[in-house]
A and B are shown apart, each in its own frame.
Chain A
Amino acid sequence: MAIAASSAVAVVLLSACATAPNVSYGSPEQVETVTTEFGSTDLQMIAEKMVNSLLATPILSSGKRPVLYVHRVKNRTDEHIDTKSITDKIRVTLLKSGRVRFSAVNEVNDEMIKQLEYQTSSGMVDPNTAKSIGYQVGADYFLYGEIASIKKEAGRVEDVYFKFTMNLVNIETGLIEWADEKEIRKQAKRPLMGR
Chain B
Amino acid sequence: MLNPKRYVWLILLFLVGCAGTAPNILHVQAGPGGLSSKTEEINDSSLSRKLTFGEVSIRPLQLGSSMEAQVIIQNTTKRDVIFEYRFMWYDASGFELSAVTSWIPAYLTGKEARGFKSTAPGPNATNFKIMVRRPHSITDTGS
A interface vs B, CB < 8 Å? Answer: 22, 24, 26, 28-34, 41, 44-45, 47-48, 51-53, 55-56, 58, 61-63, 89, 93, 96-99
Give the distance to chain A from B72, nearest Cβ to Cβ, in Å. Answer: 17
* Measured CA separation A56–B118 after assembly (Å): 9
Beta-carbon contact of A96 and B99 below 8 Å:
yes
Given contacts A31-B103, A31-B136, A93-B100, is CB(A52)–CB(B118) below 8 Å? yes
> Which segment of B6-14, B30-38, B42-50, B61-69 sits at the interface?
B61-69
Contact mask for chain B residues 77-116; partner A; CB cutoff 8 A; 1 contact, 0 none: 0000000101000000000001111111100000000000
Q: How many residues of B contact A (CB 8 A)?
A: 29
> Out of B61, B62, B65, B99, which one reaches A93, CB within 8 Å?
B99
In whole angstroms, how far apart are the Cα atoms of A164 and B142 in the complex?
Answer: 32
Distance, CA A34 to CA B100, complexed state (A): 21
Residue of B nearest to A97 (CB): B121
9 interchain residue pairs of minimum CB distance: A44-B102, A61-B61, A55-B119, A96-B98, A33-B137, A48-B100, A29-B102, A61-B62, A52-B119
Q: Assess the A56–B141 pair: CB atoms within 8 A.
A: no
Residues in A with CB closer than 8 Å to B142 are 22, 24
Cross-chain contact B102 with A41 (CB below 8 angstroms): yes
In the assembled complex, which residues on chain A have CB atoms less than 8 Å from the CB atom of B103?
29-31, 41
Which chain B residues border A31 with CB–CB below 8 Å? 84, 103-105, 135-138
The answer to whether A55 touches B66 (Cβ under 8 A) is yes
| Residues in chain B near residue A34, CB distance under 8 A | 138-139
A42 and chain B: residue at smallest CB distance: B105
Q: Which residues of B contact A26 (CB under 8 A)?
A: 138, 141
Which residue of B is nearest A53, CB measured? B119
Across-interface contacts of B86 in A (CB, < 8 A): 29
A33 surroundings in chain B (CB, below 8 A): 137-139
Q: Which residue of A lies closest to B105 (CB)?
A: A31
Bound Cα distance A89, B102 (Å): 12
A44 and B138 contact, CB distance less than 8 A = no
Tell me whether A89 and B100 are in contact in the complex, defined as CB-CB below 8 angstroms, given that A56-B61, A62-B65 are known contacts: yes
